[in-house]
Structure 1
Amino acid sequence: MTTEAQRPVAAAVVVQGERVLFVRRRVAEGTLSWQFPAGEIEPEETPREAAARETEEETGLLVVPQSVLGQRVHPMTGREIHYIACRPVGGRAVVASADEVAGLAWATYGEIPQYVPYGLFEPVQDYLEGALLP
């Protein structure tokens, strides 16, 4: 593995209203097809900065990082991933990087299992329960 491939990843958990943003990767990572906007953390970049940058690059949506939800080694990819709660502040979510992203969806809490059938990282699940459920 190269050093490039071992960089940690930042994932943006973007909530707007009663929905959370998912993107469908053009190339699935194993069984991962739908996921949060995410990408490698560049040198000299914080996970918060990477989450905001990747969201804008992939979806055109401008977001402000709110809080760090947690980090783990993803059980399916083996990559270190940082989950960052983000709030939209501008733009509209579209497929902005067609070479990386094949689609996007705003999912209600009840729809999440259709996109992520294997379940979410517990701190992300807890955050979304609080953010999306009445």
Structure 2
Amino acid sequence: MTETATSEPAIAAAVIVRDGRVLLIRRRLREGALLWALPSGGVEAGEAPADAARRESLEEVGLSVTPVESLGERVHPITGRRMHYFACTPDDGTPEVRDTDEIAELAWVSRSQVSELVPGGFFDKVEQYLAQALT
């Protein structure tokens, strides 16, 4: 089966790990079955996906990050949006909910909590990265 993306802008997601935990945000509204997710948002015209991941992290949770590795891309099976995933190191700031229209809360979560909060799991390459990073 061929993956097809919607005509909406691609999404860039930041996979931010610190002290053996990954930063997740809880949406105010579910997107299909999705409630907890990685900080992410739309790639703007002319913007590189890694730059969008950096910008969205700052806008959504007030955390300055550096994308250090592309973890791949896919068409999201629920939303149909093209997704770009980046492993990011936190540079500066203490995360807090900045985008109160879209985000209800955030949490640094352990590997076992990820499987509880995101029952379907993440994109396989993100899962592989987290398996190594969250030890």
Return the TM-score normalized by structure 1.
0.94
C-alpha deviations, 1:33-89, integer Å up to 9, x for none? 100000000011111000010011010011011110010000011110000110000
Runs of 4+ in 1 over 6 A off after TM superposition: none
Q: Do residues 71 (structure 1) and 73 (structure 2) align?
A: yes
User: 1:110: Cα distance to partner?
Assistant: 1.4
Residue in 2 that maps onto 1:33: 35
Give the gaps of 5 or more residues in structure 1: none
Equivalent of 1:100, from 90, 102, 105?
Answer: 102
Equivalent of 1:20, from 9, 22, 28?
Answer: 22
Task: Specify the SS of the correspondent of 2:89.
Answer: strand
Q: Do residues 82 (structure 1) and 84 (structure 2) align?
A: yes
Give the gaps of 5 or more residues in structure 2: 1-5
Task: Specify the SS of the correspondent of 1:110.
Answer: helix
Residue in 1 that maps onto 2:55: 53
Residue in 1 that maps onto 2:3: none
Task: Specify the SS of the correspondent of 2:98.
Answer: coil
Distance in 1 (CA, whole Å) between partners of 2:67 and 2:117 is: 23
| Aligned-residue identity in percent | 47
Distance in 2 (CA, whole Å) between partners of 1:75 and 1:18 is: 28
Distance in 2 (CA, whole Å) between partners of 1:33 and 1:5 is: 23
Distance in 1 (CA, whole Å) between partners of 2:30 and 2:60 is: 15
User: 1:115: Cα distance to partner?
Assistant: 1.3
Distance in 1 (CA, whole Å) between partners of 2:7 and 2:13 is: 16
Distance in 1 (CA, whole Å) between partners of 2:82 and 2:51 is: 16
User: 1:114: Cα distance to partner?
Assistant: 1.4
Distance in 2 (CA, whole Å) between partners of 1:5 and 1:95 is: 29
Residue in 2 that maps onto 1:115: 117
Distance in 2 (CA, whole Å) between partners of 1:90 and 1:121 is: 27
User: 1:27: Cα distance to partner?
Assistant: 1.8
Return the TM-score normalized by structure 2.
0.93
Q: Report the aligned-residue RMSD.
A: 1.2
C-alpha deviations, 1:82-122, integer Å up to 9, x for none? 00110000000111111111010111111111110011111
Task: Specify the SS of the correspondent of 2:88.
Answer: strand
